[in-house]
Amino acid sequence: MGAYFRPAEIPDALELLARQPLMVVAGGTDFYPARVGKSLDEDILDVSALVGLKQIQETEQEFRIGARVTWSDVIRTDLPSYFDGLKQAAVTIGGVQTQNAGTLCGNICNASPAADSVPNLLALNTQVELSSTSGIRTLPLYEFMLGNRQTARSPEELVTGLIIPKPSGQARSSFEKLGARRYLVISIVMVGAVMALDEHGRITDLRVAVGACSPVAKRLSQLEQDMLGKSVAELRVTPEHCVGLSPINDVRARASYRNEVVPILVQRAILKLTEQSET
């Protein structure tokens, strides 16, 4: 087994990363299952004891989700309605044990095309906070996620949090996931949506992201633009709205099936938001 470090302070963790390449582990819900039956040869930085990264903090302009915040923390925390989609995603993640250990930041750093947090985080215009001994920088999530299992994090950097700006108006969010079963499953297609309506039921803000249909989840920017100022009753999802997606054939589904399903799930996600606004 390689070296193992479990510091309690962020500066100590950053010093370790500045000195040598380390595999960063938080909940380990992806790391350890991938190594069953294998020797652990990597040098590991366990961040599960770092002080100050377990909070969800609110300011006037934004929310900050610390790097140790788990799925269960998101489920239990009283958050505005534009976090509902993220909560809906959280309850589909594995079982309770996985939700208690797995972190949102770990989910984005793992950079799976089917990472359940990413569609809603993209729709929330999330920024990723990266810390090193040189300072702190932030990147939009869409710039942080580079491809399948690839991110923009440098070896000496640690993801210390997610920054989510507050949407304008009465925004709400939703999450739709298609899998072989309802829970404990890797997604075939998933959709995260954020929407705000004016007093006349017209869309003032719409953000829709699709996951598991490209190396990284994608926003449907053309659909978002086309629906501004319209009512949800006018919603039509066309193939042109989905041109940025590039699904593959794999053990879960064929690319053609994913292409057929995307418009249906997008409509469901948006219609669900209309139902929420009427309750």
Please report, for the chain, the start and end positions of each structural domain, with discontinuous segments joined by +. Answer: 172-277
pLDDT tens string 31-50: 988 888 888 889 999 999 99
Please answer whether residues 131 and 160 qualify as being in contact, where contact means their C-beta atoms are separated by less than 8 angstroms: yes
pLDDT (tens, 9 = 90+) of the chain, 279 residues, equals 799 999 999 999 999 999 999 999 999 999 988 888 888 889 999 999 999 999 999 999 999 999 999 999 999 999 999 999 999 999 999 889 999 999 999 999 999 999 999 999 999 999 999 999 999 999 999 999 999 999 999 999 999 999 999 998 889 999 999 975 565 567 899 999 999 999 999 999 999 999 999 999 999 999 999 999 999 999 999 999 999 999 988 888 899 999 999 999 999 999 999 876 555
Burial call 176-190: b when 16+ CB within 10 Å, e when fewer: bbbbeeeeeebbbbb
Structure-token pair, residue 24:
């960063």
Please answer whether residues 178 and 189 qualify as being in contact, where contact means their C-beta atoms are separated by less than 8 angstroms: yes
Q: How far apart are CA 141 and CA 153, in angstroms?
A: 11
Region class of 201: left (phi > 0), else alpha (psi between -120 and 50), else beta: left
For residue 136, list its beta bridge partners.
131
The CATH class that applies to domain 172-277 reads alpha beta
Question: What is the pTM for the complete model shown?
Answer: 0.94
